[in-house]
Amino acid sequence: MLLVFTFTDNNEAAKFEQIYNKYKNLLYHKAWEILHDQMAAEDAVSETMIRVYRNMEKIGDPDSPQSASFLVTIAKNVALTLLKRSKSAPAPLPEDEDESYEPEDPLDLEAEVLDAISEEKLCLIIGKLDEEARNIFVLKYAHDLSHKEIARQLGTTENNVTVRLHRTRKRLAAMVREEGSFAV
């Protein structure tokens, strides 16, 4: 998944960066205490920072004890959610069966493109979309909004958003193929 954070000004971006640099190790250790798994703890820190981005207005001074407490609480809740999901997830396939597994959709365009294209090239291609398509795409994939939330923001129907996203993904796939941008 590609995430693009957009900030209202440079101060907000600097504040986010300061929070990340100051608290990333603390958040990782809190997640590790709960999950006892390096990759899961890293995922928890990433999800925590996404939630921090969405709640930047709730953080005053990044150096305050209240901010640290707020961040640790978010990390703890994210880690507990990941732990709960991992306990309820189905058991993985045995190794010999796993090799023969094929996804239901053999052309998973999103995964194929994101695996093969650099973020910079993807941003350039997205920039070539018309404004309406670009806005819907960014709201969906950068801000992780539901179709319902996007429809509300743009004053359209949820069905219209679904159709536009489908068309935009197809258009992006064609643009990527045309430019031969599958080289990273």
Portions of the chain given CATH number 1.10.10.10: 109-179
Q: What is the CATH number of domain 10-97?
A: 1.10.1740.10
Q: How far is CA 9 from CA 15, 32, 100, in A?
A: 10, 33, 49
Question: Do you know the residue count of the chain?
Answer: 184
From 1.10.10.10, 2.40.50.100, 3.40.50.300, 3.90.190.20, which CATH number describes the 109-179 domain? 1.10.10.10
63 and 22 Cβ atoms separated by less than 8 Å: yes
Return the SS3 of 11.
helix
Residues 6+ apart with CB under 8 A from 100: none
CA distance 48 to 21: 13
CA distance 19 to 76: 17
Which pLDDT does position 45 carry in this prediction?
A: 93
Instruction: Give residue 52's region: left, alpha or beta (phi > 0; psi -120 to 50).
Output: alpha
Phi and psi at 90, nearest 5°, equal -65, 155
pLDDT digits (tens), the chain, 184 positions: 566 778 888 899 899 999 999 999 999 999 999 999 999 999 999 999 999 998 888 888 999 888 888 899 999 999 999 998 888 766 555 554 444 444 444 445 555 555 555 666 767 777 888 888 888 888 887 778 888 988 888 888 989 888 998 898 888 888 877 776 444 3
pTM over 0.75: no
Which pLDDT does position 118 carry in this prediction?
A: 60
Which pLDDT does position 33 carry in this prediction?
A: 93
Portions of the chain given CATH number 1.10.1740.10: 10-97
CA distance 114 to 184: 10
